[in-house]
Amino acid sequence: MRRSTVAAAVGALVAGLALYGSAQAQEEPVQAPGAQQSTLRAAAEAAGKFVGTAVSDGRLNDASYSEIVSSEFSSVTAENVMKWDTTEPNRGSFNFGPGDRLVEFANANDQQVYGHTLVWHNQLPGWVSNGGFGAAELTQVMNDHITEVAGHYAGQVAYWDVVNEAFNEDGTMRPSVFQTTIGDGWIAEAFRAADAADPDAKLCINDYNVEGINAKSDGLYNLVSGMLEQGVPVDCVGLQSHLILGQVPGDLQENIQRFADLGLEVIITELDIRMTTPSDPNRLQQQAQDYETVVSACTAVPGCAGVTVWGISDADSWIPGVFPGEGAACVWDENLQRKPAYDGILAGFGS
Protein backbone atom coordinates (compact mmCIF):
# COMPACT_ATOMS: atom_id res chain seq x y z
CA MET A 1 0.00 0.00 0.00
CA ARG A 2 1.43 3.39 -0.97
CA ARG A 3 1.85 6.20 1.55
CA SER A 4 -1.10 8.23 0.25
CA THR A 5 -3.38 5.19 0.60
CA VAL A 6 -2.12 4.56 4.13
CA ALA A 7 -2.82 8.16 5.07
CA ALA A 8 -6.34 7.97 3.66
CA ALA A 9 -7.00 4.72 5.52
CA VAL A 10 -5.79 6.20 8.79
CA GLY A 11 -7.95 9.26 8.27
CA ALA A 12 -11.02 7.12 7.70
CA LEU A 13 -10.35 5.12 10.83
CA VAL A 14 -9.98 8.27 12.92
CA ALA A 15 -13.22 9.70 11.57
CA GLY A 16 -15.06 6.47 12.28
CA LEU A 17 -13.85 6.28 15.83
CA ALA A 18 -14.90 9.87 16.46
CA LEU A 19 -18.53 8.81 15.99
CA TYR A 20 -18.24 6.73 19.16
CA GLY A 21 -16.99 9.61 21.31
CA SER A 22 -13.65 10.42 22.73
CA ALA A 23 -13.87 7.86 25.54
CA GLN A 24 -14.32 5.01 23.08
CA ALA A 25 -11.50 6.39 20.98
CA GLN A 26 -9.21 6.39 24.00
CA GLU A 27 -10.06 2.76 24.74
CA GLU A 28 -9.27 1.71 21.15
CA PRO A 29 -6.52 4.02 19.88
CA VAL A 30 -6.08 4.22 16.13
CA GLN A 31 -2.90 2.67 14.77
CA ALA A 32 -1.49 2.89 11.28
CA PRO A 33 -1.81 -0.30 9.23
CA GLY A 34 1.09 -2.67 9.80
CA ALA A 35 3.75 -3.91 7.44
CA GLN A 36 1.59 -6.82 6.33
CA GLN A 37 -0.60 -4.31 4.48
CA SER A 38 2.34 -3.06 2.40
CA THR A 39 3.62 -4.69 -0.78
CA LEU A 40 7.04 -6.15 -1.39
CA ARG A 41 7.53 -3.52 -4.06
CA ALA A 42 6.78 -0.61 -1.73
CA ALA A 43 8.95 -2.05 1.04
CA ALA A 44 11.90 -2.55 -1.29
CA GLU A 45 11.53 0.94 -2.73
CA ALA A 46 11.53 2.42 0.78
CA ALA A 47 14.80 0.56 1.44
CA GLY A 48 16.35 1.84 -1.78
CA LYS A 49 16.34 -1.62 -3.41
CA PHE A 50 14.47 -3.43 -6.14
CA VAL A 51 12.52 -6.64 -5.61
CA GLY A 52 12.01 -9.00 -8.50
CA THR A 53 10.67 -12.37 -9.52
CA ALA A 54 11.23 -14.92 -12.24
CA VAL A 55 8.25 -14.98 -14.58
CA SER A 56 6.88 -18.02 -16.38
CA ASP A 57 5.78 -16.97 -19.87
CA GLY A 58 2.97 -19.53 -19.85
CA ARG A 59 1.41 -18.04 -16.72
CA LEU A 60 1.10 -14.41 -17.80
CA ASN A 61 -2.39 -15.08 -19.14
CA ASP A 62 -3.48 -16.14 -15.63
CA ALA A 63 -5.02 -13.00 -14.15
CA SER A 64 -4.28 -13.94 -10.52
CA TYR A 65 -0.65 -14.74 -11.33
CA SER A 66 -0.06 -11.62 -13.42
CA GLU A 67 -1.68 -9.42 -10.77
CA ILE A 68 0.82 -10.63 -8.18
CA VAL A 69 3.72 -10.06 -10.56
CA SER A 70 2.59 -6.55 -11.50
CA SER A 71 1.66 -5.33 -8.01
CA GLU A 72 4.34 -6.93 -5.84
CA PHE A 73 7.53 -6.59 -7.91
CA SER A 74 9.58 -3.82 -9.46
CA SER A 75 11.79 -6.16 -11.52
CA VAL A 76 11.02 -9.18 -13.70
CA THR A 77 13.33 -11.92 -14.98
CA ALA A 78 12.40 -14.37 -17.72
CA GLU A 79 12.52 -17.80 -16.14
CA ASN A 80 13.39 -19.48 -19.44
CA VAL A 81 12.49 -17.55 -22.58
CA MET A 82 15.65 -15.46 -22.88
CA LYS A 83 17.92 -18.51 -22.70
CA TRP A 84 19.84 -19.70 -25.76
CA ASP A 85 17.63 -22.70 -26.61
CA THR A 86 14.64 -20.36 -26.98
CA THR A 87 16.26 -17.27 -28.49
CA GLU A 88 18.45 -19.07 -31.07
CA PRO A 89 17.24 -22.65 -31.50
CA ASN A 90 18.97 -22.86 -34.89
CA ARG A 91 22.09 -21.00 -35.91
CA GLY A 92 21.24 -17.51 -37.08
CA SER A 93 17.49 -18.04 -36.56
CA PHE A 94 16.22 -15.97 -33.63
CA ASN A 95 12.99 -16.17 -31.66
CA PHE A 96 12.27 -13.08 -29.58
CA GLY A 97 8.49 -13.35 -29.27
CA PRO A 98 8.29 -14.77 -25.72
CA GLY A 99 10.96 -12.39 -24.40
CA ASP A 100 9.24 -9.46 -26.08
CA ARG A 101 6.03 -10.33 -24.22
CA LEU A 102 7.83 -9.98 -20.91
CA VAL A 103 9.33 -6.64 -21.93
CA GLU A 104 5.87 -5.39 -22.92
CA PHE A 105 4.45 -6.57 -19.60
CA ALA A 106 7.24 -4.82 -17.71
CA ASN A 107 6.76 -1.58 -19.63
CA ALA A 108 3.03 -1.63 -18.88
CA ASN A 109 3.71 -2.05 -15.16
CA ASP A 110 6.68 0.29 -14.68
CA GLN A 111 9.12 -2.55 -14.02
CA GLN A 112 12.72 -3.15 -14.98
CA VAL A 113 13.71 -6.22 -16.98
CA TYR A 114 16.54 -8.44 -15.76
CA GLY A 115 17.94 -10.43 -18.69
CA HIS A 116 18.74 -14.10 -18.03
CA THR A 117 20.98 -15.41 -19.54
CA LEU A 118 23.29 -14.86 -22.52
CA VAL A 119 25.81 -17.70 -22.07
CA TRP A 120 25.20 -20.84 -20.01
CA HIS A 121 26.33 -24.42 -20.41
CA ASN A 122 22.77 -25.63 -19.81
CA GLN A 123 19.65 -25.20 -21.99
CA LEU A 124 21.90 -24.89 -25.00
CA PRO A 125 20.61 -26.07 -28.39
CA GLY A 126 22.38 -29.14 -29.66
CA TRP A 127 23.96 -27.26 -32.54
CA VAL A 128 26.05 -25.36 -29.95
CA SER A 129 26.77 -28.03 -27.35
CA ASN A 130 27.47 -30.77 -29.91
CA GLY A 131 28.62 -28.62 -32.81
CA GLY A 132 32.23 -29.69 -32.75
CA PHE A 133 33.40 -26.12 -33.31
CA GLY A 134 37.01 -25.07 -32.95
CA ALA A 135 37.99 -22.22 -30.66
CA ALA A 136 37.75 -19.46 -33.27
CA GLU A 137 34.38 -20.56 -34.61
CA LEU A 138 32.79 -21.14 -31.20
CA THR A 139 34.00 -17.68 -30.14
CA GLN A 140 32.29 -16.28 -33.22
CA VAL A 141 29.12 -18.27 -32.49
CA MET A 142 29.07 -16.98 -28.90
CA ASN A 143 29.74 -13.38 -29.89
CA ASP A 144 27.13 -13.47 -32.65
CA HIS A 145 24.53 -14.79 -30.21
CA ILE A 146 25.33 -12.14 -27.60
CA THR A 147 25.34 -9.40 -30.23
CA GLU A 148 21.94 -10.37 -31.60
CA VAL A 149 20.16 -11.01 -28.30
CA ALA A 150 21.60 -8.14 -26.24
CA GLY A 151 21.34 -5.89 -29.30
CA HIS A 152 17.67 -6.76 -29.80
CA TYR A 153 16.90 -5.73 -26.23
CA ALA A 154 19.32 -2.80 -26.08
CA GLY A 155 17.86 -0.02 -23.96
CA GLN A 156 15.10 -2.31 -22.64
CA VAL A 157 17.04 -4.54 -20.23
CA ALA A 158 18.53 -3.07 -17.05
CA TYR A 159 20.79 -6.02 -16.17
CA TRP A 160 22.09 -9.06 -18.03
CA ASP A 161 23.40 -12.29 -16.59
CA VAL A 162 26.09 -12.43 -19.24
CA VAL A 163 27.64 -15.65 -17.94
CA ASN A 164 25.84 -18.15 -15.74
CA GLU A 165 27.25 -20.93 -13.53
CA ALA A 166 30.86 -21.00 -14.74
CA PHE A 167 32.41 -22.57 -11.62
CA ASN A 168 32.88 -25.96 -10.03
CA GLU A 169 32.33 -26.28 -6.28
CA ASP A 170 36.08 -26.14 -5.62
CA GLY A 171 36.42 -22.77 -7.34
CA THR A 172 37.89 -24.10 -10.58
CA MET A 173 36.26 -23.44 -13.93
CA ARG A 174 33.43 -25.73 -14.97
CA PRO A 175 34.38 -27.76 -18.07
CA SER A 176 31.61 -26.33 -20.26
CA VAL A 177 31.84 -26.42 -24.04
CA PHE A 178 33.01 -22.80 -23.89
CA GLN A 179 35.72 -23.43 -21.30
CA THR A 180 37.09 -26.57 -22.91
CA THR A 181 36.99 -25.18 -26.46
CA ILE A 182 37.87 -21.50 -26.07
CA GLY A 183 39.80 -21.52 -22.79
CA ASP A 184 40.01 -19.16 -19.84
CA GLY A 185 39.41 -16.01 -21.86
CA TRP A 186 35.86 -16.85 -22.91
CA ILE A 187 34.18 -15.05 -20.02
CA ALA A 188 35.97 -11.75 -20.61
CA GLU A 189 35.21 -12.16 -24.32
CA ALA A 190 31.51 -12.58 -23.55
CA PHE A 191 31.42 -9.46 -21.37
CA ARG A 192 33.11 -7.36 -24.04
CA ALA A 193 30.61 -8.57 -26.66
CA ALA A 194 27.68 -7.76 -24.36
CA ASP A 195 29.04 -4.31 -23.63
CA ALA A 196 29.40 -3.59 -27.33
CA ALA A 197 25.83 -4.75 -27.99
CA ASP A 198 24.25 -2.75 -25.15
CA PRO A 199 26.56 -0.28 -23.41
CA ASP A 200 23.78 0.86 -21.06
CA ALA A 201 22.93 -2.52 -19.53
CA LYS A 202 24.65 -3.59 -16.32
CA LEU A 203 26.57 -6.79 -16.96
CA CYS A 204 26.62 -9.56 -14.34
CA ILE A 205 28.15 -12.96 -13.67
CA ASN A 206 25.79 -15.27 -11.81
CA ASP A 207 26.29 -18.50 -9.86
CA TYR A 208 24.93 -20.71 -7.07
CA ASN A 209 26.53 -21.90 -3.82
CA VAL A 210 28.50 -18.65 -3.72
CA GLU A 211 26.37 -16.98 -1.03
CA GLY A 212 28.87 -17.64 1.75
CA ILE A 213 32.65 -17.31 1.74
CA ASN A 214 33.92 -20.63 0.42
CA ALA A 215 36.12 -22.11 -2.30
CA LYS A 216 33.56 -21.46 -5.01
CA SER A 217 32.87 -17.84 -4.07
CA ASP A 218 36.63 -17.29 -3.71
CA GLY A 219 37.04 -18.49 -7.29
CA LEU A 220 34.34 -16.08 -8.41
CA TYR A 221 35.90 -13.25 -6.40
CA ASN A 222 39.32 -13.87 -7.92
CA LEU A 223 37.89 -14.00 -11.44
CA VAL A 224 35.98 -10.73 -11.21
CA SER A 225 38.88 -9.00 -9.44
CA GLY A 226 41.15 -10.01 -12.30
CA MET A 227 38.66 -8.92 -14.94
CA LEU A 228 38.28 -5.53 -13.31
CA GLU A 229 42.06 -5.11 -13.30
CA GLN A 230 42.06 -5.91 -17.02
CA GLY A 231 39.35 -3.36 -17.76
CA VAL A 232 36.71 -5.96 -18.61
CA PRO A 233 33.24 -4.32 -18.38
CA VAL A 234 31.77 -6.34 -15.50
CA ASP A 235 29.29 -4.42 -13.36
CA CYS A 236 27.69 -6.87 -10.98
CA VAL A 237 27.71 -10.27 -9.32
CA GLY A 238 24.60 -12.40 -8.89
CA LEU A 239 24.29 -14.70 -5.87
CA GLN A 240 21.57 -17.17 -6.81
CA SER A 241 20.65 -18.16 -3.25
CA HIS A 242 18.85 -21.44 -3.86
CA LEU A 243 18.99 -22.21 -0.15
CA ILE A 244 17.96 -25.00 2.23
CA LEU A 245 15.77 -24.35 5.26
CA GLY A 246 17.82 -23.26 8.26
CA GLN A 247 21.06 -23.07 6.28
CA VAL A 248 21.52 -19.42 5.37
CA PRO A 249 25.30 -18.84 5.46
CA GLY A 250 26.31 -16.87 8.54
CA ASP A 251 28.77 -14.83 6.49
CA LEU A 252 26.32 -13.89 3.72
CA GLN A 253 26.46 -10.16 4.51
CA GLU A 254 30.25 -10.24 4.76
CA ASN A 255 30.42 -11.95 1.38
CA ILE A 256 28.08 -9.40 -0.21
CA GLN A 257 30.24 -6.63 1.25
CA ARG A 258 33.51 -7.96 -0.15
CA PHE A 259 32.12 -8.01 -3.69
CA ALA A 260 30.60 -4.56 -3.19
CA ASP A 261 33.99 -3.31 -2.00
CA LEU A 262 35.31 -4.09 -5.50
CA GLY A 263 32.94 -1.44 -6.81
CA LEU A 264 30.45 -4.02 -8.10
CA GLU A 265 26.73 -4.19 -7.55
CA VAL A 266 25.63 -7.37 -5.82
CA ILE A 267 22.22 -8.91 -6.44
CA ILE A 268 20.40 -11.82 -4.84
CA THR A 269 19.18 -13.24 -8.14
CA GLU A 270 17.27 -16.53 -7.68
CA LEU A 271 16.19 -16.73 -4.06
CA ASP A 272 14.15 -19.68 -2.89
CA ILE A 273 14.39 -21.69 0.33
CA ARG A 274 13.40 -25.34 0.09
CA MET A 275 12.30 -27.73 2.81
CA THR A 276 11.32 -31.36 3.22
CA THR A 277 7.69 -31.64 2.18
CA PRO A 278 4.97 -31.50 3.24
CA SER A 279 5.50 -28.20 5.01
CA ASP A 280 4.23 -27.50 8.51
CA PRO A 281 3.80 -24.33 10.59
CA ASN A 282 7.20 -24.62 12.25
CA ARG A 283 9.00 -25.04 8.96
CA LEU A 284 7.10 -22.15 7.43
CA GLN A 285 8.09 -19.89 10.31
CA GLN A 286 11.73 -20.93 9.96
CA GLN A 287 11.46 -20.21 6.24
CA ALA A 288 10.09 -16.74 6.98
CA GLN A 289 13.05 -16.09 9.28
CA ASP A 290 15.46 -17.31 6.61
CA TYR A 291 13.93 -15.04 3.97
CA GLU A 292 14.21 -12.14 6.40
CA THR A 293 17.86 -12.97 7.09
CA VAL A 294 18.76 -13.00 3.38
CA VAL A 295 16.90 -9.81 2.54
CA SER A 296 18.29 -8.07 5.64
CA ALA A 297 21.82 -8.89 4.52
CA CYS A 298 21.17 -7.19 1.19
CA THR A 299 19.43 -4.24 2.82
CA ALA A 300 22.41 -3.70 5.14
CA VAL A 301 24.92 -3.31 2.28
CA PRO A 302 24.53 -0.17 0.12
CA GLY A 303 26.13 -1.98 -2.82
CA CYS A 304 23.44 -4.68 -2.86
CA ALA A 305 20.98 -3.47 -5.48
CA GLY A 306 18.08 -5.83 -4.89
CA VAL A 307 16.59 -9.26 -4.41
CA THR A 308 14.84 -11.49 -6.94
CA VAL A 309 12.83 -14.51 -5.82
CA TRP A 310 12.79 -17.45 -8.21
CA GLY A 311 9.13 -17.70 -9.07
CA ILE A 312 5.81 -16.91 -7.43
CA SER A 313 4.11 -20.12 -6.42
CA ASP A 314 5.13 -23.50 -5.03
CA ALA A 315 3.03 -24.97 -7.83
CA ASP A 316 5.47 -23.60 -10.40
CA SER A 317 8.74 -24.20 -8.54
CA TRP A 318 11.57 -26.13 -10.18
CA ILE A 319 12.59 -27.67 -6.84
CA PRO A 320 10.41 -30.83 -6.65
CA GLY A 321 11.50 -31.90 -10.11
CA VAL A 322 15.18 -31.73 -9.16
CA PHE A 323 15.06 -32.56 -5.44
CA PRO A 324 12.38 -35.24 -4.89
CA GLY A 325 10.71 -34.93 -1.50
CA GLU A 326 11.64 -31.27 -1.19
CA GLY A 327 9.83 -28.07 -2.17
CA ALA A 328 7.51 -25.44 -0.68
CA ALA A 329 10.36 -23.03 -1.48
CA CYS A 330 8.44 -20.00 -2.73
CA VAL A 331 6.67 -17.06 -1.12
CA TRP A 332 3.17 -18.03 -2.29
CA ASP A 333 1.67 -21.51 -1.94
CA GLU A 334 0.11 -23.68 -4.68
CA ASN A 335 -3.11 -21.65 -4.44
CA LEU A 336 -1.33 -18.28 -4.74
CA GLN A 337 -1.87 -17.55 -1.05
CA ARG A 338 0.87 -15.67 0.81
CA LYS A 339 3.03 -17.70 3.17
CA PRO A 340 4.82 -16.37 6.27
CA ALA A 341 7.83 -15.87 3.99
CA TYR A 342 6.06 -12.81 2.59
CA ASP A 343 6.21 -11.04 5.95
CA GLY A 344 9.79 -12.22 6.35
CA ILE A 345 10.76 -10.36 3.19
CA LEU A 346 8.90 -7.24 4.33
CA ALA A 347 10.78 -7.37 7.63
CA GLY A 348 14.05 -7.85 5.78
CA PHE A 349 13.48 -4.64 3.87
CA GLY A 350 12.74 -2.91 7.18
CA SER A 351 8.99 -2.60 6.71
Nearest to 149 by CA among 106, 190, 111, 206: 190
Catalytic residue among 72, 88, 270, 292: 270
Tell whether omega for the bond before 125 is within 30 degrees of 0, i.e. cis.
no
Eight-state DSSP code of residue 97: H
Nearest to 323 by CA among 260, 227, 268, 243: 243
Q: Residue 165 catalytic?
A: yes
Q: Residue 326 catalytic?
A: no
Catalytic residue among 165, 189, 211, 292: 165
Mapped to the 3 state alphabet, what secondary structure does 256-272 carry? HHHHHCCCCEEEEEEEE
H-helix segments, 153-271: 177-182, 186-197, 215-229, 252-260
Q: Which residues are catalytic?
A: 165, 270
